Amino acid sequence: MKRAVLCVLVLLGARAAAAQDAGAVLAAAERAMGIVGLSSIQFSGSGASYFVGQAPAPGGPWLRYTLRAYTADINYMAAAMRQELDRVQGETGVPFGGIKQAWFVSGKVAWNVNGPAPAATYRDPSGLKTADQRNLEIWLSAPGFIKAAKAGKATARKQGANTVVTVITPEGARLTGVLNASHLLERTEGALDNPVVGDMTITMAFADYRRFGDVMFPGKIVETIGGHPALELTVSGVTPNGDAGVGDVPAVAQVAPVVAVTSEKVGDGVWYLTGGSHHSLLVEFTDHLVVIEAPQDEARSIAVLAEIHRLVPGKPIRYVVNTHHHFDHLAGLRTYAAEGATVISAKASQPYYEQALNAPHTIAPDRLAKAGKKVKVEGVDGKRVLTDGTQTIELYVVTMATHAEAMVVPYMPKAKLIVQADLTVTLPPNAPTPAPANPVAVEFYDAIQSRTLDVARIAGIHGRISSWTELLAAAGK
């Protein structure tokens, strides 16, 4: 009996030793990092940034940009951040949004300035909830984590020579930080909902701490989102308690985005569903429907579904065809799967889709998670024909070196209508033929010609319906 009591006392003592006073741990970290009384910080450097959700290959690393210059201003008191980026794709190419960009968040509002004026609404092509992501990044920064942990009910425990601190933010986000024996943060971690892959982890790793005035700040920062690098920064300068001014939230950014859907009949049993930056097509068969593309997010898919059921009531959606694996084109697929539709994609993308689209969604359960269903995926290898003898869709898998390894290109022979996603091939009205020709247009033209397709019109998942003549002009033919 005495031995049993002794074992219990030893176990309790071990647990007490493992648990630590979080307040004392955080106070030591503040002193070691020189951030006692810190209200804002600016840091700058260079390295690489990545386009999250836009991997060249399914499941691979995000598209990489060379980051020639980067500056972040974070105001911890106002929960606001401004990031300025000067970046190129490779050494010369222009990235999405332009070479020089400014990204903002203030409270629940996020906006970008990719030119002289802020975007009226900003929907991140990565499929992330932009304001949620940028808010999380404020508190995953090295000083930010310490401040969030001090403001919340943090817990601390020993893990070898390190100390692990955990806190739940007022918004319900669970943040974890690892402090080394010198009381410096080595890593922070959090997660947010992503409409494609569900509970998506964001981590920041800190190394090479150096003294910048009174502040000890990491000289190397690596942010990872969804398992792949999103930012690799070599820090060259740090300024504590500067202006860190984000400025007033622009009026256009305060307007909540409206999900609008308009429909246009473009063929026998074929409708073009537009109203936003990303479009879909509806094709009616005898006893079912097929939807081409489910972009952006669940809100967009719910609105498109409402229009589909208005146009053709009573018929089930059997398939939803996805053109390629980029997140802005995947993010509404789960909503269709909740209605029983099967996803059709390129065969090369199928394993990734089956894994990613069926990942847990516990942070913000969507319709599919609430229904307890799984996404079913069928792959196309080369060509597949969907037909009932009257209506026909031909699906071709095309390798597009300019954008994605495997692109599904739907073609409706009766309407002489082909669908393109992210292959902007039209010129502005009265624009001269480019010299040299648009390489994307040339690649798309060659893909059509090699399959001897009789094309009269081209329906863009972005943009509008254009003519074959316009493609010829863009391709310099």
Q: Which CATH number fits the domain that encloses residue 76?
A: 2.50.20.10
How confident is the model over 389-405, as pLDDT tens digits? Answer: 999 999 999 987 767 77
Same domain, 242 and 341: no
In this prediction, residue 432 carries a pLDDT of 72
In this prediction, residue 391 carries a pLDDT of 97
Estimate to the nearest angstrom the gap between the alpha carbon of 199 and the chain centroid: 12
Nearest to 408 by CA among 471, 341, 350, 476: 350
Does 11 reside within a domain?
Answer: no
Does 6 reside within a domain?
Answer: no
Same domain, 207 and 267: no
Band the pLDDT of 63: cuts 50, 70, 90.
Answer: very high
What is 184-213 written as a DSSP string? -EEEEEEEEEETTTEEEEEEEEEEEEEEET
CB 191 within 8 A of CB 133: no
What does the pLDDT average to over 35-57?
95
Same domain, 267 and 250: no
Give the integer Cα–Cα distance in Å for 148 and 138.
10
Does 146 reside within a domain?
Answer: yes
Which phi and psi angles does 3 have, rounded to 5°? Answer: -65, -40
Which segment of 51-65, 128-142, 414-428 scores lowest on mean pLDDT?
414-428
How confident is the model over 155-198, as pLDDT tens digits? Answer: 999 999 999 999 998 888 899 999 999 999 999 999 999 999 99
Which domain, by its residues, includes 400? 262-474
How confident is the model over 110-159, as pLDDT tens digits? Answer: 888 887 777 765 666 666 788 899 999 999 999 999 999 999 999 999 99
Residues linked to residue 234 through DSSP beta bridges, in sequence order: 46, 220
In this prediction, residue 402 carries a pLDDT of 64
What is 126-183 written as a DSSP string? T---HHHHHHHHHHHSHHHHHHHHHHTT-EEEEETTEEEEEEE-TTS-EEEEEE-TTS
Residues linked to residue 192 through DSSP beta bridges, in sequence order: 200
Query: Is the model's pLDDT at 11 over the cut of 50?
Result: no
In this prediction, residue 14 carries a pLDDT of 37
How confident is the model over 361-375, as pLDDT tens digits? Answer: 999 999 999 999 999
Same domain, 434 and 327: yes
In this prediction, residue 18 carries a pLDDT of 47
Band the pLDDT of 13: cuts 50, 70, 90.
Answer: very low
Burial class (CB in 10 A: 0-12, 13-18, 19+), 170: exposed
The model scores a pTM over 0.85: yes
Band the pLDDT of 429: cuts 50, 70, 90.
Answer: low
Band the pLDDT of 247: cuts 50, 70, 90.
Answer: confident
Band the pLDDT of 350: cuts 50, 70, 90.
Answer: very high
Query: Is the model's pLDDT at 309 over the cut of 90?
Result: yes
Give the integer Cα–Cα distance in Å for 106 and 97.
20
Give the integer Cα–Cα distance in Å for 29 and 185.
8
Q: Which of 212, 230, 254 is the endpoint of a domain?
A: 254
Q: Which of 197, 222, 254 is the endpoint of a domain?
A: 254
Does 14 reside within a domain?
Answer: no
Same domain, 343 and 437: yes
Supply the mean pLDDT for the chain. Answer: 90
Band the pLDDT of 1: cuts 50, 70, 90.
Answer: very low
Query: Is the model's pLDDT at 270 over the cut of 70?
Result: yes
Query: Is the model's pLDDT at 246 over the cut of 50?
Result: yes
In this prediction, residue 476 carries a pLDDT of 85
Higher pLDDT residue, 244 or 218? 218
Which phi and psi angles does 178 have, rounded to 5°? Answer: -115, 120
Which phi and psi angles does 139 have, rounded to 5°? Answer: -90, -10
Which segment of 17-26, 318-327, 409-418, 444-453 scores lowest on mean pLDDT?
17-26
Does 408 reside within a domain?
Answer: yes
Does 45 reside within a domain?
Answer: yes
What does the pLDDT average to over 83-88?
94
Band the pLDDT of 90: cuts 50, 70, 90.
Answer: confident
Same domain, 155 and 229: yes
CATH number of the domain within which 406 lies: 3.60.15.10
Nearest to 323 by CA among 269, 396, 430, 274: 396
Query: Is the model's pLDDT at 60 over the cut of 60?
Result: yes
Same domain, 404 and 439: yes
Same domain, 311 and 198: no
Which phi and psi angles does 259 have, rounded to 5°? Answer: -90, 105
Tokens of 273: 């569903």
Q: Which of 201, 227, 254 is the endpoint of a domain?
A: 254
Same domain, 179 and 300: no
Same domain, 323 and 393: yes
Same domain, 311 and 379: yes
In this prediction, residue 282 carries a pLDDT of 98
Does 34 reside within a domain?
Answer: yes
Same domain, 348 and 411: yes
Does 10 reside within a domain?
Answer: no
What does the pLDDT average to over 453-461?
96
Query: Is the model's pLDDT at 12 over the cut of 60?
Result: no
Counting the structural domains of the chain, the total is 2
In this prediction, residue 16 carries a pLDDT of 40
Query: Is the model's pLDDT at 89 over the cut of 50?
Result: yes
